[in-house]
Amino acid sequence: MVCDLYVRYTSFCKFPEADAIKRITEMVLDFNNYDNKKKNLLEQEIYKLFVSQCNNVKELNWTNSQPLSLFPGASTCFSQLHSLFIDPNCVNSNALYQISKICRYLNTLIIYNCSQDLPELVSLIDSQRNLKNVKIYSDNDLRRNYKKLSEALARKSNTIKHLHLNLLTESPSLSLDNLTVLTISGWYTDDEIRGFQHYLSVLKFPELQSLYVTGSIYTYDLATLIRKTNGNISRAFFNGINKEDIVILIHAIANNCRKIEILHMNLNPRHLILLLSNCKNLVEINLSHDYTDDDPSSGDDLLNILADYSPKSLTNINISSNKFSARVLDRFFESFRKKSLNYFHIKNAYYLNECKDIVRKFINEGIVKYSNICPYP
């Protein structure tokens, strides 16, 4: 009776993640005399129970070695899968191929530890009818050629809107005409970057709206990418990129991203004037800079530029600075009397009591709502 109730209630449960199953097996088995064979058998029976009883599961995090798609009831359990998180290093090829035959309506596909062009992954992508979000995280130690995977993604160019890669492809077929969000992260060898540069020469992302980049991509290559868009980028985040020829990237943003609203990047204050002058829709900027003690006025320079050139739309400012004067800070806030700030934050700053008093005054006057210089007015 108890077992029957348990089976029936299982059908109302969310499909369990690997950590939950692990905790169950540890509770049932003697932790001090842990037998991997018994653990695997118990784990398999628990998964079989859920697969046989759960209908139309929407999300699956498949990071274990159990062949879930081969269990009885899998076709009913996973046929309406909406999001799939998968580690191909854990899942055997037969199970991976079978899931491509069962689920055809994925909206989101996230692949961990992708180390090679697996035909089963290609089949999985090809079988989808409405794939919109794809994230691929490569195994940095085992990265190989991803030509067939790139071609499979290109075949879904009509549906894919969001793409996250921490692998670089030199396949020109990856151009995705309807892509709106592109994320590139990771640290790459010179050979990988050269291959990517060749790819950029034929790249076109005409509908791109958001660009997120973390890692060792050269600013020249990012500038090339931006110039290949149709001016629709509204969000751009650059972190840890190679800062050689940063001016080229600044000019690419200023001349090709007139609609940009949110910008996070590392730059020198003197490069900011062009951005603020050309990008009149900016709402938020998060600016980092490698300040040194040899440049004590850089904080003042930055505040003066923001005071003189900020568009009316700019309400959220986050900067890094080492030193700035109370006089310049006061002038900065005065410039926003007709266009109040939502927040003004400074990273890595030496806060002076006099500066805190100035910020508190402008918060009380409604010129700025929030600031980490004076979080409690």
Give a three-class secondary structure readout of 8-73.
HHHCCCCCCCHHHHHHHHHHHCCHHHCCHHHHHHHHHHHHHHHHHHCCCCCEEEECCCCCHHHCCC
Q: Give the residue with greater pLDDT, 88 vs 146.
A: 88
- Looking at per-residue pLDDT, the higher value among 8 and 250 belongs to 250
Q: Look at 37-41, 66-70, 242-246 and tell me which has the smallest mean pLDDT.
A: 242-246
Separation CA 167–CA 174 (nearest Å): 12
Q: How many residues does the chain have?
A: 377
Both tokens of residue 85? 């998180």
CA distance 45 to 25: 11
Which of residues 31 and 282 earns the better pLDDT score? Answer: 282
What does the block give as tokens for 17? 């993640």
CA dist 373 and 178 (Å) reads: 42
Report the pLDDT averaged over residues 234-257: 87
- For residues 86 and 111, give the distance between their C-alpha atoms in angstroms, rounded to a whole number: 5
Closest among 144, 156, 142 to 107, alpha carbons compared: 156
Whole-prediction pTM value?
Answer: 0.84
Compute the distance between CA of residue 80 and CA of residue 130 in angstroms, rounded to an integer.
12
User: Between 58 and 20, whose confidence is greater?
Assistant: 58
The 10s digit of each residue's pLDDT in 98-153 is 999 999 999 999 998 887 788 999 999 999 999 999 998 876 555 556 778 888 98
Lowest mean pLDDT of 20-24, 109-113, 260-264, 311-315, name the range. Answer: 20-24
Taking only the tens place, the pLDDT of each residue in 300-330 is 889 999 999 999 999 999 998 757 888 999 9
- pLDDT category at 187 given cuts 50, 70, 90 is low
Cβ partners under 8 Å of residue 299, min gap 6: 291, 321, 322, 323, 324, 328, 349
Q: What is the pLDDT of residue 4?
A: 47
Alpha-carbon distance of 301 to 14, in angstroms, equals: 55
Task: Specify the pLDDT at position 19.
Answer: 81
Question: By mean pLDDT, which of 6-15, 84-93, 127-136 is the weakest?
Answer: 6-15
Of 90-94, 226-230, 276-280, the range with the highest mean pLDDT is 276-280
Lowest mean pLDDT among 220-229, 234-243, 251-260, 300-309: 234-243
**pLDDT of res. 25:** 82
pLDDT at 191 over 80: no
What confidence tier does 2 reach under pLDDT thresholds 50, 70, 90? very low
39 pLDDT exceeds 50?
Answer: yes
Helix or strand or coil: residue 342? strand
Q: Which of 198, 156, 200 minimizes the C-alpha distance to 178?
A: 156
The pLDDT, as a whole number, for residue 375 is: 73
Quote the pLDDT of residue 291.
47
Q: What is the pLDDT of residues 290-304, one digit of tens each?
A: 544 445 567 888 999
Q: Which residue has the tokens 């998968």?
A: 86
